[in-house]
Chain A
Amino acid sequence: MYEDMPEDRINKFYEKLKKDAEAGGYQLNPDTNFTKKLVKGLLVNQDRYSYQACPCRISSGVKDEDLDIICPCDYRDSDLEEYGTCYCALYVSQDVLNGKKELVSIPDRRLTEKEKIKQKESKIEITSSLKYPIWRCKVCGYLCARDGPPEICPICKAKKDRFEKFL
């Protein structure tokens, strides 16, 4: 299935992701064969679900349930920090790129993180005395103080729905 996706479309999207990644201080996995499979996976998911769900996780097909795993997922930065790679190994750290750290298949932190969030939500909400609430981009960690989150994250270009109220 999806065998007939044009090479050209995959290559173009690969180049775009690579450029965006590098502009933001990230690196794609230098194993282009491997990486292009993931890039194709993202396009397949775009076509079948209409959002770019993580190619290595099972998607529900319902965007609201999968917001956290729209690529780049909410877990990319933590995984890059801890393991030097995102869960799929589409993005890798400088150490992996330089061969200082070995690239291996890592556990999915999605479930444990989701449990943590649930626990947090069940706690009483702290009332803030700030003039403006603080919004946090779950993709890159960008913070801003304003009435609502921006339409698009000025740092990583993630959409509004990837923001959480932070304070």
Chain B
Amino acid sequence: MELIFELVKGKNKGDIKLYALSTCAWCEKTKDLLKELGIEFKFIYVDLLQGDTKQYAIDEVRKYNKNCSFPTLVINNDKTIVGFKATEIKEALS
């Protein structure tokens, strides 16, 4: 199965994935920060998925963040930032 992310265009800094919830205010702040930084990224609202796809997404998030909490930001399949950590995000993407 492959999850369908939504793409936000901008400067290419590699593969930047944001797992978020559509109802979570910290997730939105994270998304806004990435937009402000003008970086290209893709995001997915896990709560809007259904059934098997939702479970698949949850399992995928767990690989990066065992608590499966949101927002989970994954940079180049390597670095994971959990929660809205503005300074950490800026540093990692500068």
Contact = CB atoms under 8 A, between A and B. Distances in A.
A1 interface: yes
Contacts, number: 60
A44 B67 contact: no
Interface of B is mostly: loop
Interface residues of A, number: 24
A82 to B, nearest CB: 15
What interface size band does chain B fall in? 20 to 34
Contact of B25 (A2, A59, A89, A111): A89
Interface string B59-94: 000000011111000000000001111000000000
A56 B27 contact: yes
A60 to B, nearest CB: 9
B21 interface: yes
Given A58-B68, A111-B67, A44 B23 contact: yes
B24 interface: yes
Interface of B: 21-29, 46-48, 58, 66-70, 82-85
Interface of A: 1-2, 34-35, 37-38, 40-42, 44-45, 55-59, 88-89, 105-108, 110-111
8 contacts: A37-B23, A41-B23, A44-B23, A58-B46, A58-B68, A88-B26, A110-B67, A111-B67
